[in-house]
Amino acid sequence: MFKILRKTAQTGLVTIGYPEKPPLLSMRYRGAPRFDFSRWRDSRPAAEVCPTGAISIQERDDTRLVTVDYGLCIYCGQCAEADTSGAVKITREFELAVRDRRNLVVTGEYAVDAEGVQSELKKLHHGFWPVDETSEELERKVRERIHQVLGRSLAIREVDAGSCNGCEVEITALNNPVYDLERLGVHFVASPRHADMLLVTGPVTRNMELALVKTYRAAPEPKVVVAVGACGISGGIFGTNYATLGGVDQTIPVDVFVPGCPPRPHALLFGILLAVGRIAQKGLPQ
């Protein structure tokens, strides 16, 4: 016992200050890729190597539509390796959680020359707001509301609907001394009947479909659902097949989508706090 207490005193405080303070990320951390659509001259190599089809191309006469879906992206970095123009780069960005699935999709409309090179960016199509603006703007709004909304505790029930357990490892880390989710009044519960939020991982397998629906129905109103990771958003690397139904929103309503494969604990925390704002909109005490 004394050895444990001595070690604790020697270690000191290790809990991060995020979101009040900027996150401390390793220089080796691989976050979401960033696409400079104005400089992108040939998207075909990146689309060919993308394992989940997050980068897709449609040809229409002399026009090319290049779509990037962050809800399918697993942050593997192969698109940046395949692109030789420098228009695709891997960043350390993780604050991409959104309330609408469409906000994770960006489409560039290009004029294409005879050799298939994208000569001009005609238009860039976003969701309700550009992906580039979500991080700073949403974090600011969340910080303004966090102390009001979390005046009461938030209970989370985590549901594995078919995950490879990569997301579960990151979710478990939220309870360790570094991230310490309970410092924000947020804790995990064993029963959906005690939960304000369902944190759902994995593509929904057909064996888990009924269990997920029953869990959703058992959670009292008002409740929110957070789809975690590429699999939870779109089916990810598994997609939709004989064994899986795809993203969580194919089975139950989803309020917040947290991209990544898996999303790091910072990204999960950001998504949970964004969902807290959604709870307030549904009438919880503030």
> 150 and 104 share a domain?
no
Give the containing element (helix H, strand E) for 79.
Answer: helix 78-82
> 34 — phi, psi (to 5°)?
-120, 135
DSSP string for 22-40: -----TT----EEE-TTT-
Domain containing residue 204: 132-281
Single out the residue in 129, 154, 181 at which a domain terminates: 129
**Amino acid 141: pLDDT:** 52
d(CA 30, CA 178): 20
Residue 17 is assigned to a structural domain of this protein: no
Same domain flag for 99 and 122: yes
Q: Domain boundary residue among 129, 146, 173?
A: 129
- CA–CA separation, 120 vs 111, rounded Å? 5
Tens digits of pLDDT across the chain (286 residues): 777 777 767 767 778 778 777 888 888 888 889 999 989 999 999 999 999 999 999 998 889 999 999 999 999 999 999 998 889 999 888 888 888 888 888 899 999 888 888 888 888 887 644 444 444 554 455 445 544 444 457 899 999 999 999 999 999 999 988 888 888 888 899 999 999 899 999 999 999 999 999 999 999 888 889 999 999 999 999 989 999 999 999 999 998 999 999 999 999 998 898 887 633 332 222 2
The answer to whether residue 12 is domain-embedded is no
- What is the structure's pLDDT at 131? 44
Asked whether residue 183 falls in the same domain as residue 202, the answer is yes
Cβ atoms of 226 and 255 within 8 Å: the answer is yes
Asked whether residue 252 falls in the same domain as residue 163, the answer is yes
Structural contact between residues 119 and 112, judged by C-beta atoms closer than 8 angstroms: yes
Same domain, residue pair 101 and 152: no
Contacts of 72 by beta carbon, 8 Å cutoff, 6+ apart: 52, 53, 54, 230, 233, 234, 236
3-state secondary structure 96-164: CCECCHHHHEEEEEEEECCCCCEEEEEEEECCCCCHHHHHHHHHHHHHHHHHHHCCCCEEEEEEECCCC
Centroid of chain to Cα 246: 15
Query: Are 42 and 174 contained in the same domain?
Result: no
Cα of first residue to Cα of last residue in the chain, in angstroms, is 42
AA identity, residue 212: L
Asked whether residue 65 falls in the same domain as residue 194, the answer is no
- Final residue before a domain boundary, out of 102, 129, 156: 129
In contact, 15 and 60? CB cutoff 8 Å: no
Give the pLDDT confidence score for residue 72 in this predicted structure: 93
Confidence (pLDDT) at 137: 54
Report the C-alpha dihedral over residues 87, 30, 256, 136, rounded to 10 degrees: -70
In a domain, 68, yes or no: yes
Cis status, amide bond into 192, omega within 30 of 0: no
pLDDT of 280 reads 34
- Check residue 152 and give its pLDDT: 58
Same-domain pairing of 272 and 196: yes
270 and 180 in a common domain: yes
Q: Do 104 and 233 meet the contact criterion of CB atoms below 8 Å apart?
A: yes
d(CA 54, CA 139): 25
In contact, 143 and 19? CB cutoff 8 Å = yes
Position 115 scores a pLDDT of: 82
Amino acid identity of residue 201, one-letter, is T
Q: How many domains does the chain have?
A: 2
